[in-house]
Amino acid sequence: MLALAFLLALLLVIPNSKAVNSNRLILGPISANISEKDRTYNPRDNFCRLLSISSAILESNTETRKLVIDGGMSKYRFTYKGKDIEVLELNGYTLVIDLLHDFDVASPPYLQMTPRPTEVPLVNRGCIWWDSTQRYIYSQGGHFYDSWGYNESLFHVDQANVPPYSFWRYDTQDSKWLKMDPHGDTVERSLAGAKLSVPQHNLSFYIMGEYSSTTGGSKAYPPGYNLTQPGMIVYDHTTNIIKNVSLQNTYGFNEGFFHGQAQHLQVGGQKGLLLSIFGEKYPLQKYFSDDYNGQQSSFKNIMLYDIANERWYNQTATFFNDELPEPRTRFCSVLVQDSTTRNWEYVNCFWDITALDHALTDVESLWIYGGQGVAERRDTSPGVDGIWVLTMPAFLWVKITDPVGTHRRGHTCHAVGSQLIVIGGSRPDGEVTLQEDECENNLLKIFDMNNPSWQTSFNASTTYNQPNIIRSRASAFSSPLSGWTSTALADIFKYNPPTATTTATTTATTTATQSPVPPKGLSPGSKIAIGVSVSLGISLFIGLACFFFRRRLFARNVGDAGDAPSTADTSAPNANDQPVSPVLVTHSDNSVGELPANSRKQSEEKAEMEAAV
């Protein structure tokens, strides 16, 4: 009878499930009749899947290096009353893993696995920040997931009861949560924005994202529809002041971006740049169905924000042949730097001789991995292959072959030395539902960026060196092959502050600027005249050679940049889509948003799907 009950429950919970093996039981804890006291499963001992998480690495000199994982949803392998069950559950643990020592990926060294207090919101696709102390993480944003199986969790929040925005801090030393009370602007909870922290300046950022009925807030968002978030949240950890900067009103954005990634480029002499790329976009103030993706956002357009001067730039990236990353969403990214790279053009192809002291610029590379395509409907979105690298300051995309070709979305990743650490994730919606996806053996995956390949262990003391495929294609260029879209942006990348100079760079620069020993018998004036003439002649010759070499290489090997943004210092280019006849939806506060004209059809399809489930 017990076996029959489990089978009936499975049929009720997973209707018409062709991807589920008949021997697998995939249930929420209530459907599995697991009492609260018996829900002893956890990510360390019962791991099957973990996705839509937030994560950060906290590093304090050479004393500690911790990977912190929070939020999201899990699937656990759990044996209960003689039955093997894959339990669908929200992730009620904050995990801390030691990255200071080597380990096997099959057995990561957990330092903490802290149960979450019920008063601390448990969200998916949320935001983790960190500060200069490298002790705390700060949790804000995200949404309350509401789907079958997961809605049986103790942490589940019904859409009608979504709480207002709150901001929490977790102490990785005493494993305790504290509710924060920041001063400043009013902030609404949103999901899928691009988030990052710049601890050396004690600032954190959350760029755009989307609102929905699962994020809550002062507006009554129609169930099943999302609205892009037009702002950038800036939090100052020193002053405890939070700002909500409207990118629409302040910078003229007319599109909202979401499901993106952001990284900090430590260039220029001030606070550096924020680099952000997004998978999806949609016109501001217009709703789109949750069952549908937004519009594709091209990876040819790189959005950059000057922190110190509060200014946005848009730089066009180029690519070899057809090696532009296909549009994707729910991917991850890391930024790595090869400070030992000696690029011939960096030293010798500057026209301004006075810039030679700063000409040997570190090469920075943005690596992106995984994600799913941006099909019209999310449940038909396929996976995408390959690992891609945007090398800067050339702003050139290079494809790195993924030897395994695994499709993954809803994961996060970080770089430690030469290693890309990938945490969690699942296969794309177009391949299998997240509930039905098969179990994995390991929470972490390690990819060696020096010699592109997947590894079975983590090495705590590696150093990143640019792979040959990137070096051979991009290391000869100190500026974008398509040209800078702004002279101000070019100046930021041209200046390399002395504080960022490494030992290797200093040595190379000093060697390049040393004067040869002059022959005997020449007067000081003659020596100077000869030195200047020779320097100018060599610089002119090499400069011309570089110019013609770049033109030839660009013409032969680089694909059409296409979709180039305006050279004005603005945000992403305006949408060229045809206007959509709107159906107006009035909020409870009488504010108005626009639903697409085909929203009725989408609503009917959504209702049919929900009825089937």
Per-residue pLDDT of 590-613, as tens digits, reads 333 444 444 434 444 443 333 332
Confidence grade of residue 420 (pLDDT, cut at 50, 70, 90): very high
Q: In this predicted structure, what is the pLDDT of residue 594?
A: 45
Hey, what are 337's tokens?
């730097």
| Furthest-apart CA atoms within the chain: distance in Å | 108
Q: In this predicted structure, what is the pLDDT of residue 384?
A: 87
Q: In this predicted structure, what is the pLDDT of residue 341?
A: 52
For residues 258 and 14, give the distance between their C-alpha atoms in angstroms, rounded to a whole number: 30
* Stronger pLDDT, 430 or 19, i.e. the higher one: 430
Q: How many CB atoms lie within 10 A of CB 454?
A: 15
Closest CA to 195 of 339, 99, 333, 48: 333
Hey, what are 415's tokens?
């770089």
pLDDT digits (tens, 9 = 90+) for 295-307: 999 999 999 999 9
The answer to whether residue 355 sits within a structural domain is yes
pLDDT at 433 over 80: yes
Q: In this predicted structure, what is the pLDDT of residue 609?
A: 34
- Per-residue pLDDT, averaged over 196-211, amounts to 98
Q: In this predicted structure, what is the pLDDT of residue 7?
A: 42
Could you give phi then psi for residue 170, rounded to 5 degrees? -115, 130
Q: In this predicted structure, what is the pLDDT of residue 506?
A: 28
pLDDT digits (tens, 9 = 90+) for 348-368: 232 222 232 333 345 689 999
For residues 258 and 277, give the distance between their C-alpha atoms in angstroms, rounded to a whole number: 9
User: Cα angle at 331 between 296 and 164, to 5 degrees?
Assistant: 90
Could you give phi then psi for residue 402, rounded to 5 degrees? -85, 110
For residues 369 and 500, give the distance between their C-alpha atoms in angstroms, rounded to a whole number: 28
pLDDT at 108 over 60: yes
Q: In this predicted structure, what is the pLDDT of residue 339?
A: 60
pLDDT digits (tens, 9 = 90+) for 227-286: 999 999 999 999 999 999 999 888 889 999 999 999 999 998 899 999 999 999 999 999
The answer to whether residue 494 sits within a structural domain is no
Closest CA to 133 of 61, 234, 235: 61
Q: In this predicted structure, what is the pLDDT of residue 258?
A: 96
Q: In this predicted structure, what is the pLDDT of residue 517?
A: 28
The answer to whether residue 138 sits within a structural domain is yes
pLDDT at 457 over 70: yes
pLDDT at 474 over 90: no
- Per-residue pLDDT, averaged over 428-445, amounts to 93
* Rounded percentage of the chain residues whose pLDDT exceeds 70: 72
Question: What's the CATH number where 145 sits?
Answer: 2.120.10.80
Hey, what are 176's tokens?
């305790």
Beta bridge partners of 70: 54
Q: In this predicted structure, what is the pLDDT of residue 476?
A: 75
Q: In this predicted structure, what is the pLDDT of residue 13?
A: 42
For residues 153 and 353, give the distance between their C-alpha atoms in angstroms, rounded to a whole number: 65
- Do 124 and 73 contact (CB within 8 A), yes or no? yes
* Stronger pLDDT, 122 or 347, i.e. the higher one: 122
pLDDT digits (tens, 9 = 90+) for 12-61: 444 333 344 558 999 999 999 999 999 999 999 999 999 999 999 999 87
Name the 3-class secondary structure at 328.
Answer: strand
- Quickly list DSSP for 242-282: EEEEEHHHHH---EEEEEEEEEEE--SSSS-EEEEEEEEEE
The answer to whether residue 353 sits within a structural domain is yes
Name the 3-class secondary structure at 472.
Answer: helix
Residue 176 per-residue DSSP state: E
- Do 417 and 462 contact (CB within 8 A), yes or no? yes
- Do 210 and 226 contact (CB within 8 A), yes or no? yes
| Number of folded domains that form the chain | 1
Hey, what are 562's tokens?
């296409």
Q: Is the dihedral of CA 411, 95, 128, 305 positive or negative?
A: negative
Hey, what are 479's tokens?
């500026």
The answer to whether residue 327 sits within a structural domain is yes
Residue found by looking up tokens 């008063």 in the block? 119
Hey, what are 43's tokens?
């990510």
The answer to whether residue 553 sits within a structural domain is no
Q: In this predicted structure, what is the pLDDT of residue 458?
A: 99
* Stronger pLDDT, 577 or 494, i.e. the higher one: 494
Closest CA to 197 of 272, 256, 123, 268: 272
Structural domain of 414: 2-487
Q: In this predicted structure, what is the pLDDT of residue 319?
A: 87
- Do 193 and 258 contact (CB within 8 A), yes or no? yes
- Per-residue pLDDT, averaged over 92-118, amounts to 97
Q: In this predicted structure, what is the pLDDT of residue 406?
A: 78
Name the 3-class secondary structure at 300.
Answer: coil
Which of the residue ranges 3-7, 23-27, 134-138, 226-230 would you say has the lowest mean pLDDT?
A: 3-7
pLDDT at 477 over 50: yes
Rg, Å, the chain Cα set: 26
Average pLDDT, rounded, for the chain: 79
Hey, what are 321's tokens?
């042949």
The answer to whether residue 43 sits within a structural domain is yes
pLDDT at 9 over 60: no
pLDDT digits (tens, 9 = 90+) for 527-583: 334 344 444 454 545 555 544 444 444 444 444 433 333 333 333 333 333 222 222
Beta bridge partners of 93: 115
